[in-house]
Amino acid sequence: MTTKFAALAVFLLCFMPATKIEHAQASLMLTKKTKPEAKQLLTHINNDEEESFPSLSDDKDKKKVKPIKLSARTEKKEKPNSNETSSHPKEKEERKYSQSEKELLSRLVHAEAKGESYKGKVAVASVVLNRTEERGFPDTIRGVIYQKNAFEPVANGSINQKADKDSIEAAEEVLSDKNRETEAIFFYNPKTASDDWIRSRKVIERIGKHVFAM
């Protein structure tokens, strides 16, 4: 057994580096030497090993590592400008009126502005449209015309008479044209009007026999 162990030790020593061999030899020798001698032998081997392999802490052996600088594109992705991405608000769609609304407005114009000029008829139709956009009034042509005590032709039934050509054209012009003849929301004939409240309204213009007021 001792012979086989010695042979194996010799075989391993053949393939070990010099420093490892010295450590192995030192280990064998330590078993035969005293403690002071063994300590001195280990110190000698360690010193030789340090001289054979210089420390990587030396400046000449250090590799300088340059920090990686991120480009602006890599560091942060720019957010799109809210002003650029926001879409323009849609324009208000033009209101479309039904044929029955056109006919009703034409009959009112005919009943209220009979005998008036074409301009006077357009102004009467403009008042009705102005009211649909004014607070305190219905927002439809039918609602404005049939509002209680709003127009005398509704009360006396003359609203049901067939409209003449000028009244029809005046109503169609106001319904299709954004520029109306007047901004007024009231009109009356000062010779026949008996209501004191309507007379107290601010007059902005006179067209034919009618006074138009706010």
CATH number of the domain to which 120 belongs = 1.10.10.2520
Asked if residue 90 is part of any domain, the answer here is no
Res 188 pLDDT > 70: yes
Asked if residue 130 is part of any domain, the answer here is yes
pLDDT higher at 176 or 96 = 176
What span, in angstroms and rounded, lies between the C-alpha atoms of 104 and 150?
A: 15
35-52 and 18-30 helices cross at what angle (nearest 10)? Answer: 170
Asked if residue 105 is part of any domain, the answer here is yes
- Mean pLDDT along residues 40-50: 51
Asked if residue 51 is part of any domain, the answer here is no
pLDDT higher at 87 or 197 = 197
Range of the domain at 177: 99-183
What span, in angstroms and rounded, lies between the C-alpha atoms of 182 and 203?
A: 12
Please write the tens of the pLDDT for every residue from 129-157.
Answer: 999 999 999 999 999 999 999 999 999 99
Q: Which residues contact 98 (CB under 8 A, 6 or more apart)?
A: none
Number of structural domains in the chain = 1
What span, in angstroms and rounded, lies between the C-alpha atoms of 189 and 212?
A: 9
Of 70, 38, 198, 181, residue with least CA distance to 116: 181
CA angle (146, 151, 155) in 5-degree steps: 75
Per-residue confidence band for 73, with pLDDT thresholds at 50, 70 and 90: very low
pLDDT higher at 132 or 92 = 132
Asked whether the beta carbons of 127 and 211 are under 8 A apart, the reply is: no
- Mean pLDDT along residues 46-59: 48
What was the pLDDT predicted at 213?
98
pLDDT higher at 154 or 6 = 154
Per-residue confidence band for 181, with pLDDT thresholds at 50, 70 and 90: very high
Cα–Cα separations (whole angstroms), residue 33 to 7, 22, 27, 36, 113: 23, 15, 10, 8, 138
Asked if residue 126 is part of any domain, the answer here is yes
What was the pLDDT predicted at 179?
80
Asked if residue 27 is part of any domain, the answer here is no
Asked if residue 140 is part of any domain, the answer here is yes
Res 65 pLDDT > 90: no
Per-residue confidence band for 100, with pLDDT thresholds at 50, 70 and 90: very high
Asked if residue 25 is part of any domain, the answer here is no
Question: Which strands, in side-by-side order, build the sheet including 203-207?
Answer: 186-188, 210-213, 203-207
What was the pLDDT predicted at 83?
45
Question: Across the chain, how many H-helices and E-strands are there?
Answer: 11, 3
What was the pLDDT predicted at 2?
52
Res 52 pLDDT > 50: no
What was the pLDDT predicted at 3?
56
